Amino acid sequence: MPLQAHTTNHPTRAAVEAMRGNVVIEFGVDWCPHCQRAAGPVAAVLGAAVAQAAGALQYLRLEDERTRPLGRSFNVKRWPTLLFLQDGVEVARVVRPTTAAEVVAGLEQLGSHREVQP
CATH at residue 52: 3.40.30.10
Q: Quote the pTM value.
A: 0.90
Residue 10 domain flag: no
**CB–CB of 96/78 below 8 Å?**
yes
> For 33-85, how does the pLDDT look when each residue is reduced to its tens digit (9 = 90+)?
999 999 999 999 998 998 898 889 999 999 999 899 999 999 999 999 999 99
Between CA 63 and CA 73 the distance in angstroms is 14
pLDDT for the residue numbered 1: 59
Task: Extract the runs of DSSP E, i.e. beta strands, from 1-118.
Answer: 22-28, 57-63, 81-86, 89-95
Backbone angles phi, psi at 101, to 5 degrees: -60, -35
Between CA 57 and CA 50 the distance in angstroms is 6
Residue 3 domain flag: no
pLDDT band at 113 (very low <50, low <70, confident <90, very high): very low
Residue 44 domain flag: yes
Q: Domains in the chain: how many in total?
A: 1
Residue 11 domain flag: no
Query: Can you name the residues that pair with 86 across neighbouring β-strands?
Result: 22, 89
Residue 76 domain flag: yes
